[in-house]
Amino acid sequence: MTLRTANITVQLSDKTILNNISIEFKTGQLIGLIGPNGAGKSTLLRVLAGLQAASLGQVLLDEQPIQDMAPLNKAKKIAYLPQTHECHWPLSVERVVLLGRHPHNDRHHVTDESLRAVKEAIAEADIGHLVGRPVNELSGGERARVMLARALATQSDILLADEPIVSLDPRHQIDVMALLQSLARKGKTVIVVLHELHLAMRYCEQLVLLDGGEKVTEGSPTNVLTEKNLQEVYGVDAVFGEHQGEHWVLPWQHK
């Protein structure tokens, strides 16, 4: 399943948020959207999900504009995990995860397939010990993993996640990134907004670097996370190295 943007421009209140963005997202890859605050990463993710209209250009899923797709069909193909994890109702963890199956169920019947998908998503997100608890009583990190499970339960071909590890402890950051990488290697297209450059370097196959609504560059992590790009885009100097055959980067100081 191919997903690409063709000359996407987004203007809000006379301000250009994204400018002429064209990217082809390859199936079976974990792709990171990176860049400083205000670069347009979250807006691009919302455009890909069909939640934010483009002023110009279009998003194509298997060469079909997503705005022409029926909402239910689109919801089966694309799962979106937003940046915020608020839940204003005292729903149980499993009920929240089951919401991810909404595109597959009717209002009066939950299928066995959906129950299996929920069970698998709970296991993948490592939240089995939270089952039965109200989501609005959980910590921020726990809620983040519940919302990830909800997105996983959709079992869509494409997963869009906006900062999925921002409130997690180091162990669960690593676990979630490894899970997303595993999903990509099984054939999903997984696109994530990230600020953790060391994890972007380690787990992503491709990176797209944005700045000021423009695409600066895209490619492999080692080709994108260079000393020059980090200085020019982030304004930082970094330390680079290699461990167990993998490259790492650590932003070190303000340039």
The pLDDT tens digits along the chain (255 residues) read 789 999 999 999 889 999 999 999 999 999 999 999 999 999 999 999 999 999 999 999 999 999 999 998 999 999 999 987 777 788 999 999 999 998 887 667 888 999 999 999 999 999 999 999 999 999 888 999 999 999 999 999 999 999 999 889 999 999 999 999 999 999 999 999 999 999 999 999 999 999 999 999 999 999 999 999 999 999 999 999 999 999 999 999 997
The answer to whether residues 70 and 25 touch, using CB atoms and an 8 Å cutoff, is no
According to DSSP, residue 26 is labeled P
173 Cβ contact partners less than 8 Å away, ≥ 6 residues apart: 165, 196, 199
Domains (ranges, CATH) in the chain? 3-254 (3.40.50.300)
For the entire predicted model, the pTM comes to 0.94
CB 238 within 8 A of CB 212: no
Per-residue pLDDT, 211: 98
113: Cα within 13 Å, side-chain hemisphere: 8
Separation CA 154–CA 185 (nearest Å)? 18
Q: What is the DSSP-derived secondary structure letter of residue 66?
A: G
The residue count for the chain: 255
CB 48 within 8 A of CB 61: no
Residue 111 has a pLDDT of 87
What digits encode the pLDDT tens for the residues 33-54?
999 999 999 999 999 999 999 9
Give the tens place of pLDDT for each residue, 172-207.
999 999 999 999 999 999 999 999 999 999 999 999
The answer to whether the beta carbons of residues 61 and 191 sit under 8 Å apart is no
Backbone phi, psi, residue 41, to 5°: -60, -50
Per DSSP, the three-state class of 56 is: strand
